[in-house]
Amino acid sequence: MNYNLILEEIDDIYKIINLNKKILLALEEKEEILFKKSFNKNLTIEIYTFWENFCKELVYDCYSKYKKIIIDKDFLVGYFEHVQEKSFIRRLFLESIDDNKIDIKKEILCASNNLNFKQLNELFQRIRFSCNDFKKHVNDFKKLDRAIIRLKEECIFPKFKEIKSSPSTLEYLEAYFDLIVENRNKVAHQYNIDEIYTLEQFEVILDFIKIVVFIVFEFCVSQIIKKSKDKQEVISKRIFPLCVIRSNSAEKTAIIGIRNNTRKVINKDTQLYFYDKSKNIYRMTNILKIVEDGKECYEMLPINSYSVEIDTHAAVKTKNNRFEIHKIIHNYNPFEYKVVV
């Protein structure tokens, strides 16, 4: 799944919000109330539908591209247990059985009605991803903390199952997704709008979703890299570290020295993944600037050495000159898991 294409989908929703702003300015006062009800329903469904489709597509993409890493006895046991949960899933499962294989379809593997925080964790568990690791990606994520503060400032209050004096970031995340799912169910099934958000409030909600999408995507790639190492499968290439020139303390960007030993050109748009040793996870890393011999360039040629400015949430420290930074390889071998009956 291409992260940049996901961002384009989010940008389309921002464009819809801005279009609604223009329409609202042109309406008479009597028309405003009806129009506000209309865009509340449409945007509530639009944002939730994007969120649900993104999560299901990403989870199934991880399964379909990395079967050799994902499929094992634990995966199959969990899958067959999941199949028994609901009658419509059992029916889809029976239809998926061919003469000599079982076709694991997205509609079965990713079946879910309301994709709240609990359901999201269940999706992760179906492909044997660690929910404890997901917490590591969420905790201490400053942009998420600021997004939650902004939601509260805009009077968008979370839906806690129980009152807490000082909720954690993870608990806020769960409560806000409970709110998003509840709002979607109200307008989709009951057409009951008891609270009308402004277009500015919808922008804040979408800002929150955009940050969570980043975290979920980062988490899934991190899990794939970690699982590939456990199963000794090569799905990424480690770029040779030279030194840390500048740390990223106080939320600054970092500057590192690296040598491109991948035998392929690495350009400025390449998505990298930096190993966060303190949390034992991999963090998405964006290249901001590439410099060779004092001159800025767009790409890193094989074998050559460069200083690279990067933006990542991993802790980049000047004392760690043996850091890990990876580039995902996008050519995967097909895989079949044999079951003897």
In whole angstroms, what is the distance from residue 290 CA to residue 298 CA?
Answer: 6
Least Cα distance to 1 among 67, 49, 56 occurs for 56
Reading the block at residue 327, the tokens are 């580039």
Give me the pLDDT at residue 341, please: 63
CA distance 254 to 17: 35
> Residue 139 corresponds to which tokens in the numbers above?
């905790």
Please name every residue paired with 241 in a beta bridge, in sequence order, or none if there are none. 258
Name the token pair of 277.
């040793």
H-run or E-run covering 258:
strand 254-259
Alpha-carbon dihedral of residues 60, 218, 172, 189, nearest 10 degrees?
-30
H or E stretch covering 274? strand 272-276
| Reported pTM | 0.93
84 close to 90: Cβ distance less than 8 angstroms: yes
Closest CA to 322 of 278, 273, 275, 279: 275
Q: Render 152-206 in DSSP notation, one character per residue.
A: HHTT-----SS--SS--HHHHHHHHHHHHHHHHHIIIII---SSPPPHHHHHHHH
pLDDT in tens, the chain (341 residues): 788 899 999 999 999 999 999 999 999 888 998 899 899 999 999 999 999 999 999 999 999 999 999 999 999 999 999 988 888 888 888 888 877 778 888 999 999 888 999 999 999 999 999 999 999 999 989 999 999 999 999 999 998 887 777 899 999 999 999 999 999 998 887 766 778 899 999 999 999 999 999 999 999 999 999 999 999 988 899 899 999 999 998 778 999 999 998 888 999 999 999 999 989 999 999 999 999 999 999 999 999 999 999 999 999 998 888 899 999 986 666 677 776 66
